Structure formats: C-alpha cells, structure tokens
Structure 1
Amino acid sequence: MNEMNMPNWLKQRAFLTPDRTALVFEKRSWTFAQLYRNTLKAASALSASGIQKGDFCGVLASNKPETIFTIYALQQIGAIALMLNSRLTAEEIEWQLLDAGASHILFDPFHERKAAAISGIRSISIADFPDGKPFTPRETFVLDEPCSIMYTSGTTGRPKGVIQTYGNHYTSAEGSALNLGLHTDDTWLCAVPLFHISGYSIVMKSVIYGMEVCLFEKFDAKRINESLENGDVTIISVVTAMLSDMLKELTGNYSPRFRCMLLGGGPAPLPLLEQCRQKDIPVYQTYGMTETSSQIVTLAPEYALTKLGSAGKPLFPCAVKIDGEEEGEILVSGPNVTQGYLNRPEANEQSFQNGWFHTGDIGRLDSEGFLYVLDRRSDLIISGGENIYPAEIESVLTSFEAVLEAGVTGVPDEKWGSVPAAFYVADRPLSSEELAAFCSEKLARYKVPAYFIQVDKLPRNASNKLLRRELAAKWRDEYAH
C-alpha cells in the first residue's frame, strides 16, 4: 500500500494565501508568508543544532509566537514535537523526555530554570533564532507519520505518550470544519495552552484552513471579552471555568461576528448554559481527548438545553458506540484517533480492539444517538452490585452553596464491598448530617456518601485534574478504622 502524502502544509499555505493574516499576538501580526519565513529561520537554527528528521524534541514553552514558529519548524525538519505541560515539575518532565527517548528540549526564557534542572538531554533556547544558512524544507508530509506526542495525565500509573500523526491532525481539522463550517474571515482565539491538544489543534487548523489565530499568552477574561465584543474573533475554545469567568466579567454583548464558543472539559452546569442562551452566546459542548486529536463528539447550540448534559453526536468522519446494553465504556473510531501509545504495546493491546478505541470513560447513548458521558471507568465505585459514578455525587455536592469543590472515592465496606466517601472544600464548617440530608434529596440512597471529610484542598495534577486515587490513599492512611 502506498503511503499517503500531502504537500508540506505551511509551504502550501504560504503559496496559496501569502498575504492573509496568519497570527496576531498582542499588537503584532504575521501573514502566512511572514510566518513561513520565521519558521524557516527557526528550522535552520534547530537543524544547525543537530535536530534531524525522526528526532523527538521536547517543547517547554508558553503561548508565544516563537512557540508556534518552533512547532512549525519541527514539521519542516520532520522531527516530532513532544509538547510538555509547563505546570509539571522538572522531574515529571524529565521522565517524559526519557520515556520518549527525546534528543533535545526546546525552551523559552520563562522556563529556562526548569529546563536547566533536566540533565542528560541537550537544551536549546527558542527565545531568538539567529540568521543562519537558508533552510530547504521537506516537500511533503506523510499522513501516517508522527507529528506530535502528548502525554496523557494518567489517572492510573505513569502517563502515556499519545502519538498524533499528520493524518490525525488533518482529519480532526476536517471533521471540525464539516461541523462548524468554514468562513474565509474566521479568526480563532487561542487562550488554551499550546501544549494541550485543544491549543495545538488550533495551530494545525490555522495552516490547513488558512485561518487567522489570535494568540493569548494567558487566559484573561476581561481582555478576551473585549476581543469578542469588538468583533475581532469568530471562534474560541474554552473550558467551563473559563466560560464562567468570562460571564462574570461580561458587561455588554458579543459581536454578531462571533459565531462559536467551543466548550470542552466536561458537561456545563445548566445555569451557565441558560446564562449563555440569554446573552445569545452560541455554545457548542464537546467531548474529546488527547487520543482523538481534539473533539470527536460535539453538541450543536440548538440542543444545548433540550439535551442538557450531552456531549452531542460524533463528527462526520467518526463513530461512537457503547460497550454494553444501556451504559458502558465509550468506544470511538475515526481517522483522527491515535494509532497508539508510544512504547506501550500492552496498553495498545488493551485500548485498541476490532477497530475501536476503548476510551476508559463510561457513557450512554440516548434513542437519538446523543452521547452522555457519565464518568471515568477507573473511578467507578461498585457498591452492593450497584454502579456509582463519583462525578455525579461531586456535581450534587458542589451545587450546595457552601461547598467550593468536592472529590469522591470508593472506600472499603464490610457490608457493601465499597461505599462512597466525599472529601470537600467549603467556605464554612459543615456537618455531615447537613450534607447527607442535602444529598438524600438529590441522589438515590446508595449514592449518598457514607463519609464526609472537610479538607483544605483536593489533590490535583498539573492539568488540574482531580486525583481520586490520592483521595483513596488519604482514606487508607488517615481515616480507615
């Protein structure tokens, strides 16, 4: 079978629409022709530093134009970008670099100290690329070839490196365009990290669509609202916490030019969606993961309230099914789904079966084919033969006025095998009786936590994901009788 080739994306884009704006950052902007020139300059410097086709290169950098030049430069060389979560410790980053067999770590000035703490891997600053010899980029991209690697946060054990090919990124962009439509004047605001698939995929869409990206170094609700009110952007990717902050800061209305708020990171609470509807904000809820190169299921705004809590239906080239009668593990397939995890044959054997990727998430499909994501399989509590999803209890607890955040885990019980224990952060002392009474109104009896423990903070990883296994360990160490 012949390998599928495409013309080098950035070179092709700079040829097709050289004068179109590609990137805006603060008060500066670059056309695609300028972006290509900056990328070739970066590729020349990186190549002169010894980076070759097939090398894995860690990228430890903020949302800055230099980071985007670096991402594209690695593609010109044929090296693979290992996007590093800058919130991780130097030790965690070093583990990922060694696990991937990375040849270099590329860092910006803000992360210089962290990069310096990593030994045994050559480091290169991307702050300012010197002028070097003219660089000849490769002519084609092979769709089956790895383009990027991102380590999943790993709810159990060590994180795993997800291989994302050029074909994965291309079909992800294609599926999104078939869903949202493509306008020649689109501008996508990127305030999510470039080291996450949500940010990286915007950079890929930019060059594939010929679309302007408005890059923000950090999330700033006030400044982002201004961009949306002024009509500077048409699309933005957010998670619930970002949207909530934006609504708190919002005084006017968003421009009619703004057409899509792409919401990931779990279902949004009803009051938030109702607020968006009152303000005519077009929210598209999504379900996706690093392994699917961004969204794979999306809910159109017209269903935001009638299909409350649903992530929607699969994008055009994708399929979703449930491994079970009514609810069970969510299985996905499509050309945007990863080929597998780097150096993890056992995990690949478990995750990929008969053409379907096993997500590890629990969900159900309604009669019309809308997906509802219920919880992570690894966190499922089985109590007296009943399945209990911690996220459902956490959602109820956080709707109690004094509870700021909550985490639920299963703890051993002689009678039931396992029962839920709730750890929570609150703005005043609360009694277990008060919380149990509140939960009893909203949850089946077997779902009401047997224990309520007030704590100062909940354990989270660098991606701000709740670590329920650490709650289980805390219970064993401190509260088990």
Structure 2
Amino acid sequence: MIPNWLLQRAYITPNRMALSFGEEQWTFRQLLEEASEIAQKLRWNGLNEGDRIALLGRSTPNMVFVIHGCLLAGLEIVMLNSRLSSKEISWQLNDCDASVLIVDDEFLDRIKEINTSKLTFSAIESSGKESFTVTEIWEPSRTITIMYTSGTTGFPKGVRQTAGNHTSSALSSVLNLGLADDDIWLCTMPLFHISGFSILARSVIYGMGVRLYEKFDAISIVDEIENGTATRISVVATGLHRILEEFETKGSVAHPSFKTMLAGGGPVPDDYLRRAANYQLPVLQTYGMTETSSQTATLSSEDALQKSGSAGKPLFFNRIKIRDAEQPGDFGEVLIKGPHVTLGYIGHASERDPLEDGWLPTGDIGYIDEDGYLFIVDRRSDLIISGGENIYPAEIENVLISHPHVKEAGVCGQDHPEWGSVPVAFIVGYKNVSVTDLEDYCVQQLARYKIPKAFHLVDELPRNASNKLLRRKLKEWAATGIHKK
C-alpha cells in the first residue's frame, strides 16, 4: 500500500515549505491546492484516471503544479525531454501513443507540425473544472511516469516507472543520506529527467523543501551553498566542474549546513573529488539509470575519502552483482535487482523483458572490490579493444581532466588497420593547452597502448539533453574528421 504522495504529505505537514522559486514559495497545503485545481481542470478536459498523456514543459513552478495535478488525476505521465528536436518529440509521441500532449506554450512553435491532440498550459488555466474523488491509495504496480532512455545508442526506449519503483528509490536514498527538518534540495536537474523528477518525489515523501532553478546557474548555486539556503544538490560531472571553477574563483567554502552534492550521470573524475574537498563540498558519487528510478548505489559520506572513485554499496533494498565475476576486482557487466527496477517498457520495446533471471543487465562495465564497493569503469558499448587489450575511455578521460589546462575530455575508439581500434581524444581546454603537453602528460600516467593516438582541440563536446557525453558522436567526428557540431 502506497499513499497518494501529495495528499498524505499535505495532511501530515501542511504548513512546511514545499517549493521555492526565486522570491516565491509554497507550502505543501498550497502545493496541494494548486495541483487539485489543475487536476479538476484536466478532468473537465476529458482526461480520466488511467489515461496516458505526454508532458512537455520547463523546470518552473507551473510545471511542478501540472505534474502533481496529473498525479492527482491518476494519469500516466510521459515526461518529454524539452531539449529534443521536433522530429525526436514526434517519434516519442508516436511510440508512446499518448492521448494528449500537455504543453507549455513556450514550445508551441516546436510542435506545430505534430498531430497529437494538444492541451496548452494557458488552456488549462482558463478552462472549467470538474470535481472528482482523488484516489488516496496507489497500487505499487501503478505506472506513475514513463521516461525515454537517453538514446546514446540505438532508439530510445520508453521506461515504465511505478509508484513502487519511485517510493522504493526514495526510501533507499533517505536511509543512506539521512534527513533533517531543515533540508532543502536545490534542483537544477531538468524535471523531465529521472534525477529531477526523483527530487520532487523525495520532497513529498520526506516532507522536504525543493529550491527550484529553471536553468543551471553556477554563480547562484555557489551563493546558495555558501549561504546555507540549500543543504543538498544533484549534479552531473560537467555541472560539478562549473561549480568548482566558481568556488576556485571566489576562494570561498560551503556553509557548514551543506550536506550532500550527489554526483551522477557517469563517473566523476578523481581530480574533481580532490578539488571539491578543498571547498568543504561533500561529493558522493551515485549510480543509477532510468530503469532504476534514479539511485541504485551511492557512496556514503563516511566512505567518500577512503573509497574515492567508487559509486558505493547498493542502497538498502537493492542488490548488485557483476556478471561472471569469480572474485573481487573482476571486471564485468553490472547487474541490478530490487523493487526500484522497472517492470518493463512501452511502445516498440513493450515486448522486451528488461530482466534476465530477475536481474537487470545495465550495459555498464564495473567491478566490486573486496569490501563490497562498486566501481563503474565504462559503458560496455564504449570499450576499445586495441591489439587484444581492453581500454576504457573513462580511465583516459580521468587522466586528461586532471591536467591543469583541460576543462573537458572525451575519448573514443577509432578504427586502425593494424590494432583494430586505437583511442583518440577530444579536448576542451584553456588557451594555453597544447597537444605536446597532453602527450607528455599521458606518457607519465598511462600504459603506452592507452595513450591517445590523436588529440583534437574542440570548442565543446557532444552531449545529450542530460549532459551525458555522446561517444558515438565522437566516433563520427573521429571517422569523418569533422570536429564541430
């Protein structure tokens, strides 16, 4: 039995701050009032419990109200990535078979050629209302959200995330991170992404306030962390880098009340972790995916220094193992089991079972050390096999990013007539970066076969809407010699 999150939270702590944005803020009672009004308007527009809708919006308070309104109305929400092109959005709409696209008016130009029935935010605001009885108890298997995988390889898949998945993820996280009455989670992650939505879910399950940002703003974020107006934040490696640069420019440190910088979306370079310690930023690496409703493993704060580079141990309800590993330290595909794992996909992938004998194959390569800590090495699809040797791009990227003249680094394999494949590097650097320096630096720290055979200086690296590095695009650059978007 899972209580309707917002109904239960507004009943338990109605006057606690739920959401703030700029100078505005709302309590959980006010959040429920806003969401209830939207839910009644959705009913008036013919949307009933169990209907599947698609949602396209920005990370604004109105988007939060609409999300909770949809949940109160009992709708399945397909969270559309607002950074996708019209063609990509159209493909996902056709695949998910949503009855209606609920859309922020800001995106109307992008979807004008799309045939799906549309309901704009402004139309909802001006529409009539129809009263109905809100379902107070959710079945754990009830689909709450559907999010498409980032599509770094092949076609994206629509992942079902249930009430049980999200609730289990939130409970596992709080058992690891802890919770205080004054906790405020600074949300700069897009709400359409599992990292952003999971913050909203934790908020109503925990009774924790969310400080919402529409866009990532390193200067404002550092101000919040310095001043103690936020106690936790979720970031990806690129965001962490920008935050560190701002701290280094200001020479300040985090407020004593700041507890957690949860870093996901891929391995965090060791250099970032060392730099963060200088500014009293407790960076905890975490590992998860769309199919696991956010976190599966997270490094606890007491282990952050002694297990640098690890994603930690599985959270309380979760299990992790390495395929075919015979002893600690053996590399292999990471397999996951737990109540946070999706029950399946929709659309073109609906017949595909995500599990093998109850375990979710992740496509990630990692190992578990002798103390039970998980280390993610790389994506299986990104592995470079050169002359029979396995090369993991993330290892080379870690070395390159530690160079003082490098901002970002991406490594991929390039076909080679003799070795099969060799590593090549793409570098976003400062003005004084040079290829000769980078080669010399790698020679000091890497085996000869791991040293990139070419270094390309570029203005930016290709990333998807979740800021994940697109190594398949790097491979295209390497093959064609075109190094600009």
Answer whether TM exceeds 0.5 for this pair.
yes
1:403 deviates by 4.2
Q: Distance in 2 between matches of 1:215 and 1:38?
A: 17
Q: Post-superposition shift, 1:262?
A: 1.6
Displacement of 1:163 after TM fit? 0.9
Shift of 1:371: 0.9
Report 1:14-413 matches (<5 A): 14-117=10-113, 119-127=114-122, 129-130=125-126, 132-250=129-247, 251=250, 252-325=252-325, 326-345=330-349, 348-349=352-353, 351-413=354-416
State the shift of 1:53 in Å. 2.4
Question: CA, structure 1 residues 297+347, in 2 after alignment: closer, same or farther (shift >3 Å)?
Answer: farther
How far apart are the structure 2 equivalents of 1:423 and 1:263? 23
Distance across 2 between alignment mates of 1:469 and 1:347: 26
Task: Give the 3-state SS of the residue equivalent to 2:352 in structure 1.
Answer: helix
Q: Is the 8 A contact 2:2 2:164 kept in 1?
A: no
Deviation at 1:214, TM superposition (A): 1.5
Q: Would you say the 8 A contact 1:24–1:213 is kept in 2? A: yes
1:112-157 Cα offsets, whole Å, 9 max, x none, are 322334x211111224623523343223211101100111112211
Q: CA deviation at 1:170?
A: 0.3
Deviations 1:35-81 (A, max 9, x none): 11111111111222222223222211111111111111111222111
Closer, same or farther: CA 429–158 of 1 in aligned 2, 3 Å: farther
Distance 1:88 1:381 in 2: 29
Cα distance change, pair 372–224 in 1 and its aligned pair in 2 (3 A): same
- State the alpha-carbon separation in 2 of the partners of residues 340 and 95 from structure 1: 19
Residues 428-443 of structure 1 mapped to structure 2, 5 A cutoff = 435-443=438-446
**In structure 2, C-alpha distance between the alignment counterparts of 1:20 and 1:460, rounded to whole Å:** 38
Size of the alignment, in residue pairs?
A: 473
C-alpha separation in 1, matches of 2:430 and 2:274: 26
Give distance in 1, aligned partners of 2:403 and 2:117: 51
> Structure 1 pair 410/242, CA: closer, same or farther in 2 (3 Å)?
closer
| Greater Cα shift, 124-133 or 164-173 | 124-133
Q: Under a length normalisation based on structure 2, what TM-score does the superposition of the two structures give?
A: 0.90
Larger mean Cα displacement after TM superposition, 47-56 or 456-465:
456-465
Aligned residue type for 1:274: R
Instruction: Give the letter aligned to residue 12 of structure 1.
Output: Q
Cα shift at 1:271: 3.9
Gapped runs of 5+ residues in structure 1? none
CA positional deviation for 1:198? 0.8
- State the shift of 1:420 in Å: 2.1
Amino acid at match of 2:302: E
Q: Is the 8 A contact 1:283 1:300 kept in 2?
A: no
Letter in 1 for 2:224: S
SS across alignment from 2:378: strand
Q: TM-score, normalised by structure 1?
A: 0.91
Q: Which amino acid aligns with 1:298?
A: T
CA distance in 2: counterparts of 1:380 and 1:346, whole angstroms: 28
Contact 1:285 1:312 in 2 (8 A): yes
Deviation at 1:187, TM superposition (A): 1.9
Tell me by how many angstroms 1:256 deviates.
2.6
How far the C-alpha of 1:15 sits from its partner, in A, is 1.8
Distance change (3 Å), C-alpha of 1:108 and 1:191: same
Q: Kindly provide the amino acid, as one letter, of the partner of residue 291 in structure 1.
A: E
RMSD, matched Cα: 2.4
Counterpart CA distance in 2 for 1:69 and 1:82 is 16
How much does 1:427 deviate? 4.9
Identity over aligned pairs, percent = 49
Of 60-69 and 297-306, the range deviating more from structure 2: 297-306
C-alpha contact 2:271 2:401 (8 A) present in aligned 1: no
Shift of 1:375: 0.3
C-alpha distance after superposition, 1:247-267 (max 9, x if no partner): 333444433332222222233
Structure 2, unpaired ranges of 5+: none
CA distance in 2, matches of 1:253, 1:432: 34
Contact residue 61 and residue 67 of structure 1 kept, 8 A: yes
